[in-house]
Structure 1
Amino acid sequence: MIKAHQINYKHREFSILDEVDVSLENGEFLAIVGPNGAGKSSLLSVLANEVKQGKQKILFKHKQISEWNVRELSMHKSKFSQHNSNEIPLQVKDVVMMGRYPYFESQPKQEDHVAMNTMMYETDIYHLKDRDYNTLSGGEKQRVHLSRVMAQLDNAIDHKLVFLDEPLNNLDVKHQYKALEIIRKFTHKENSAIVVLHDLNLAAQFADKILLMKAGRVAAYGTPEEVFTAENISSAYNFPCTICEHPVNANPMIIFG
């Protein structure tokens, strides 16, 4: 699906990413975790071809990602940013429809409306479709953009990839789980997802693979059981923790303190 080798990224003289390797297969849910300033969002932007610096070796579907046609690429991958505008003078349905722009020239087709409505139902915002986006709460706006990004990939193409940068911000517990279920449902169709998460226990519950970062480098990579050890987490976060087995699903459960 996507392979990146020795990703380096600097801002002025400050090194943000240092020789990071990432590999993701079809159908995998990869969670990127780590403390503030570890380089998680920067890595996501580089992988998504939004930041170009030097000769980055990033292959997407066996082709250098920089060589893709922009419109074609937008049908294969989409990205959810943690920084979306709070002031968009549109109704909710029009913001979600922005995700369908790669598929029509002037007027959306029937399949575009179906994709838009389907995702608004899944993210629990259909009842808000005629509301002014600017009147929504932070969590409602977050769900609008999740709908937009996922509607963008509603097509017949195999093995699509979604990047999501902290998609759970401002969401209550119910909608955090609904968002992660939407992502997991997407990956169960042989698509893939790379998601920046802060909640380690949610990452352990939903992700197939974990990339733990510290100071711009990969601190650990593997399954939740392989990565979420007391030694790895305490070292990365510089804070003590205990690992135990989740009583419901047997996944690693992290208790800080």
Structure 2
Amino acid sequence: MVFINILDKWLPWLAAVIACGTVSCALAAAPLTVVTEEFAPYSYVERGEVSGYSTEVVRAALGRAGIDYEIQIYPWARALQMATARPNVLIYSIVRTPQRENQFHWIATIAPRNVYLYKLAARQDIQTHTLADLKPYRIAANRGDVVEEQLHQLGLTADLSAKDVFSLQKLVAGRVDLMVATELSINNLCLRANVSCALLERGMQMPEISGYYVAASLGTPAATVQRLRQAFTQLHNSDAMRHIADKYGIQPLK
């Protein structure tokens, strides 16, 4: 009787393997855990649902790929840890760097990235025109974010928080001198933190690294990675990507 129960449990899986031809193909159908951070307008929670530009792009591609998934928002450091340690994890919007190159299967770029330094407009004592000018200042960054990595590489002081909104609150309170954000994200941060963006002043642009990407954990089956890449290629070649970008005021990919 026990043997029959075991057969009942495993026969569907064995049938899937036989139909597909390989074990790896059967594993490719496993649902994906999709992770990101609170980063409006790219990803945010609205009426209990994860939404935003990047989220809509990812949902559209996963729909084309026919892959089951669940999207969750976490502090960036936790999302990054999950994507580097677990199989079948997809992460977005992640910046591609040489340090991260071998840590993921890079699927596709989904948005350009242009970030700037922001300060309180009243802080006329802060004048920054070159990277060398940043040396004396405390600059807010998300823990685990590429900004933290970049600041350390430049020999600058990073003041770490779990979320961008905490960095903005530190800036307004005078606990940090500068923070890094995109023009779109700073407007959304001000809304969430109930801070007037008129209090802020945009400064110099940070050196470019790459655009925002979608990446899969190394433990993700090759068949799944291939299906995802094909789906994103199809999406990029359609009008759907441009329509989503227009909806959120995002500069479309070239």
TM-score (norm 2): 0.25
Taking structure 1 as the reference length, the TM-score comes to 0.25
In terms of Rg, which structure is larger? 2
More helix per residue: 2
